[in-house]
Amino acid sequence: MPMPKIWKSEGDLVADLRSDWGTRALDAISIKADWETTINIAIRGNTFRAFRRLPNKPSQVFRDWASGALVTRGYFEQLKGVRSQSDYDKWLLKLVNDLRRHWKRRMAVNLPFGPSYKLPNLLMKCVCQEMLLSRRKQVRMFLHVALDRYTLAGIRSFIMLPGGRTISSTASMGFIKTEQDYVAIQEGIRKVAKRAGVPPIAYDYLAWDSGH
């Protein structure tokens, strides 16, 4: 398994974010695919392998949910009206709770906290590219980083959890168990991204590519 990159300081990460983001031509990329294709490419099979001994196939349960939420239940149309970070955070929480309810119905167990945010956040990286350029650039600034082995390891040297706790060296998506920890990490990443002059999601791209 590829090893995640660990940045020794906030300054090191800021420098890499500035350098890396300038090479990405995301504004020239628009998926413009059907929803099934967009949803399928958003999350790869290795993420779903973390879910075991469940009554239904996790990838299918998630994809069924994503299609219903974005199209049938109108979340994508609602997203078009988001104009601030606060609005986006509220919209995302509604989306996350929608996934939690669907998962409980199909799997008969609760979806753990960490994955309940990671899956929608990965989905939103692709969904954002479906938007018109002017809205895409704005919404991209609001996106949350999917917290997993790569994104958590990269910042563990300088982003702290509430109470002065540190991110475990073996942390993965299941490490995040509370809203307080999740918010603290997202805010820490947002602070670093602001220093670098890039959207927070830039760290998601950088951490993944640096570890593969």
Q: How far is CA 15 from CA 12, 34, 38, 85, 93, in A?
A: 5, 37, 31, 25, 31
User: Residue 46: what pLDDT?
Assistant: 83
Look at residue 7 and tell me whether its pLDDT is greater than 90. yes
85 vs 158: CA distance, rounded Å: 24
User: Residue 148: what pLDDT?
Assistant: 96
Give the type of residue at 92.
Answer: L
Look at residue 207 and tell me whether its pLDDT is greater than 90. yes
**Structural contact between residues 193 and 199, judged by C-beta atoms closer than 8 angstroms:** yes
Look at residue 30 and tell me whether its pLDDT is greater than 60. no
Average pLDDT of 172-196? Answer: 98
Counting Cα atoms < 13 Å in the Cβ hemisphere of 155 gives 27
**Structural contact between residues 115 and 50, judged by C-beta atoms closer than 8 angstroms:** yes
Those residues whose C-beta lies under 8 Å from the C-beta of residue 134, and which sit 6 or more positions away, are: none
Average pLDDT of 124-153? Answer: 93
Q: How far is CA 167 from CA 9, 47, 172, 182, in A?
A: 14, 20, 10, 11
| Torsions phi, psi for 34 (to 5 deg) | -70, 160
User: Residue 134: what pLDDT?
Assistant: 84
| pTM of this prediction exceeds 0.85 | yes
**Structural contact between residues 13 and 155, judged by C-beta atoms closer than 8 angstroms:** yes
**Structural contact between residues 209 and 200, judged by C-beta atoms closer than 8 angstroms:** no
Neighbours of 133 (CB within 10 A): 10
